[in-house]
Amino acid sequence: MRAPIIAANWKMHKTRTEAADFLQRLGRHLEPAPTWFDSGEPGAGEGVQAVVAAPFPLLETAARAAAGTGVLLAGQNLHPATQGAFTGEVSAPMLRDCDCSFVILGHSERRALFQESSEWISEKVAAAQEHGLRPILCVGETLEERESGATETVLAAQLEGSLALLNAAQAEELVLAYEPVWAIGTGKTATPELAQAAHAFLRERLRKLLGEASAHAIRIQYGGSVKPDNAESLLSQPDIDGALVGGASLDPDSFYAILRAGATALPR
């Protein structure tokens, strides 16, 4: 059973007021909680999970506004050290202290704009696990890599490199996000068939790395121009267990429509 997980990646958007407003409006859609939604109440554990990854300064406000709604919070990055002289960085315990349950790691914007290597990301994955944060690990190929036939090589290298320090006992808490770089913020979504093929490939690699049970349990999100009108066709694919949503996650009505589409991924 893989409960679908839909995550909003706000990137560097919103003020505290806007974050609170978003969560209040989303909360109204979720009150009373729809039957397909995982509200966090006992017995609700198999529904669609909703996650919001907010910029660090908004997390405390977001945590207050999300309380009681069932919406979970995520950081968008962390530093592997617990504390220390790392100006501008944020640690896993700090994210836990702000009520984060998840953290996005290895997003292609971090890999490309901040030169993050898979080796460096693997340290972050280990730190997240050590402090009780569930990593949402992103992998994805560029257009050039896809056109040159290197997609599978690139995905396998990113996956294996980023999971090198994974604590296998907690492997099933990992969430993977397949985000083809050419589809992020471009309006060019991967077709459901193309996305499914990449997800099946990643699940097969997980099987080799972590064994059958973990590969079956780990949820793989698709990300890259997911919108209310394409979410259902993507989420109905057998190996697509959720979505990581950028642009369309900034509006609560559109994010809610994608959450609702997550119900089509039930049950797994």
Instruction: Give me the least distance between CB of 81 and ligand PGA, in Å please.
Output: 25
Binding mask 9-48 for ligand PGA (x = CB under 6 A): x---------------------------------------
Question: Does residue 261 interact with ligand PGA by CB under 6 A?
Answer: no
Binding to ligand PGA by residue 254, rule CB under 6 A?
Answer: no
Task: Tell me the C-alpha distance between 259 and 113, whole Å.
Answer: 29
Q: How far is CA 218 from CA 4, 37, 42, 63, 119, in A?
A: 11, 19, 22, 26, 21
Catalytic residue among 145, 173, 179, 199: 179
Residues 6+ apart with CB under 8 A from 256: 26, 29, 30
End-to-end CA distance of the chain, in Å? 5
Closer by beta carbon to ligand PGA, 127 or else 245: 245
Active site residue 179: yes
Q: Does 241 bind ligand PGA (CB under 6 A)?
A: no
Q: Is 149 exposed, middle or buried (0-12, 13-18, 19+ CB in 10 A)?
A: exposed
Q: Is residue 226 a contact point for ligand PGA (CB under 6 A)?
A: yes
Rounded Cα distance between 55 and 9, Å, is 9
Which part of the chain contacts ligand PGA (CB under 6 A), choosing from 18-26, 77-85, 125-133, 218-226? 218-226
Binding site for ligand PGA (CB under 6 A): 9, 179, 184-185, 223-226, 244-248
